[in-house]
Structure formats: structure tokens, C-alpha cells
Amino acid sequence: MDVWILGSAQAVAVKAADLCTELIQRKPDARLGLATGTTPQALYAELIRRNQRGRLSFSRVETFNLDEYLGIGPEHPRSFHRAMRESLFDLVDIDPSNAHLPAGDCDDPATEAEAYEALIGARGGIDLQILGIGRNGHIGFNEPGSSLGSRTRVKTLSRATLRDNQLGEPDFEAPSMAITMGIATILDAGALLVLATGAAKAPAVAAALEGPLSASCPASAIQLHPRATVLLDPEAAAQLRLTEYYALVDRARRRLAADSS
Ligand code: GLP
């Protein structure tokens, strides 16, 4: 794991945007795995800025979101379809037919989940999967207890996730189930880009990066991926034990970059 403890949440967004930009410039038809939630919003804002300045084009990029609530359609104000359109798709030059999410309003969720998993495979797999971490250690909607070998399927959301997703909107009753990529689906991506910011994420980040590999903390599965980059602000990194080592790696990285320039 390549762990970067950056100076601020904005520095996390800029570094994440740099990594996405590098990939898309190298491979204009890159397949990106996307996440919803608060954490990637600053990254999306940065990608929109770069797109609008003509530095980055999504015209051939294809995207696959991690998850969607079950029982609500793409126009529902709290659907992840809508959130993604409003925070990224409508504001960049992506072809809407290349932006995929599971259909939350499908008639047969199990079949929809299987079809979504098959679509990712048929398109050639995800090059870079962006991930946030839930306060309970979930990735996508893989709640604690999810099999580390799981594939895209229907999951029941935990009370903790329902509470977190309810925040700020006491009148909205969040759906209690979702379709989510599985942990094995996520681990199939060519590379992972994990983002966490803010003190509320510190315990989950410590468990994910330095705790045991366990279904009790689905984000610990990141440890299995040979190409996982983790970008943290100081608050989210506050409970890590190996910070001295991460700083050492960072210094070595800077030395190498200076030598090669
Ligand atoms: C949500 C999503 C996840 C997201 C996580 C953290 O429920 N299903 O993909 O990473 O919770 O969200 P946030 O970034 O808002 O803390």
C-alpha cells in the first residue's frame, strides 16, 4: 500500500485528480470506478475544473459506480445516479451512455446485480477504482461481515450506514437495501485509489490499513491489492501507528523524483 498523508482535504483532492489525470492522459479510454459520498466531491470538482480548462477529456472515458440504492429510480433526488450527474457527469464531456450505475428501480435486483458484474467484465474491467471508506469500515455498500470474495449483489444496509446517510436530512427515509459491487469485484480493478478525510474516519482508516484482514472491516481488503494508493488528510490519519514509516517512504519518493528530474 502506498499511503500518503497530505496537508489537507484539498491536497487529497488535488493529488487524486493528478492520478486520474495521468491515467486518462496515458489511456484516453480508461475505465474508472467511481464512488459517491462526501469524500470524492472535492476530487470531482477538481476534475471538472481541469476538464473545463481543456486539460482533461472524458470523451472516451467509461465509468462504473460502486453502488446504488434499491427501490429508487435514476431521477430520485437521493439516487446515486442523480448525485453523480449533478457532481460530475453533467459538468464534463463524458458520453452519458458510458457512465454506468446499477439500476436501483429494476424488477429483479439479483439479475441486475449479475448483469452489472458481467458488464464490468465484458468492458474489460476497471483500470482505477476510487473508494471512500464508511465510518464502519465499509467500501461500496459492503457492510461489516461481507465476504471478502463477494461479487456484485444486493446488500442490506446496516443501521450505522442508514444513520450516516440520513445525516442532515431527517425527513428522508433512506432505502434500506442497495446493489453494490462486491469486495472481489473491487479487488479486480487494476489499481485502487482510496480517499479518506476528516477525524470521523480515523478509526476506520486505522482498522483498514493496519488492522487484521477481516470481513469485519471490509476496507481491510485493500491490504490484498498490490496497487493500492491511499490518500489521507492529517485528521483521517490520526490513529495510524506507522506514520513515521509513511513519512520515510514519502521522503524517499521525493528524493527519487528530484533525482530523475
Ligand atoms: C456511502 C457509499 C460509499 C462511500 C461511503 C462513505 O454509503 N456507499 O461508497 O464511500 O458511504 O461516504 P462519505 O464519503 O460521505 O463519508
The CATH number of whichever domain residue 120 belongs to comes to 3.40.50.1360
pLDDT of amino acid 169: 67
Sort 184 into a burial class: Cβ within 10 Å, 0-12 / 13-18 / 19+.
middle
Give the mean pLDDT of 131-145: 98
pLDDT over 70 at 131, yes or no: yes
Note whether 79 and 69 are within 8 A (CB): yes
pLDDT over 90 at 172, yes or no: no
CA of 96 from ligand 1 middle (Å) equals: 23
Give the mean pLDDT of 28-42: 98
Provide CB contacts within 8 A for 115, sequence distance 6+: none
pLDDT of amino acid 19: 98
The catalytic residues are 67, 136, 138, 143
Give the mean pLDDT of 18-43: 98
Give the mean pLDDT of 57-65: 98
- β-sheet bridge partners, residue 180: 67, 153
pLDDT of amino acid 240: 98
- β-sheet bridge partners, residue 149: none
CA of 261 from ligand 1 middle (Å) equals: 38
Cell numbers at 81, concatenated:
445516479
**Residue 120 domain boundaries:** 2-260
Q: What is the pTM of this model?
A: 0.96
pLDDT over 60 at 106, yes or no: yes
CA of 36 from ligand 1 middle (Å) equals: 6
Distance CA 197, CA 47 (A): 18
- β-sheet bridge partners, residue 130: 193
User: How many domains would you assign to the chain?
Assistant: 1
Least confident of 107-116, 163-172, 251-260: 163-172
Distance CA 70, CA 63 (A): 20
pLDDT of amino acid 261: 78
196 close to ligand 1 (CB < 6 Angstrom): no
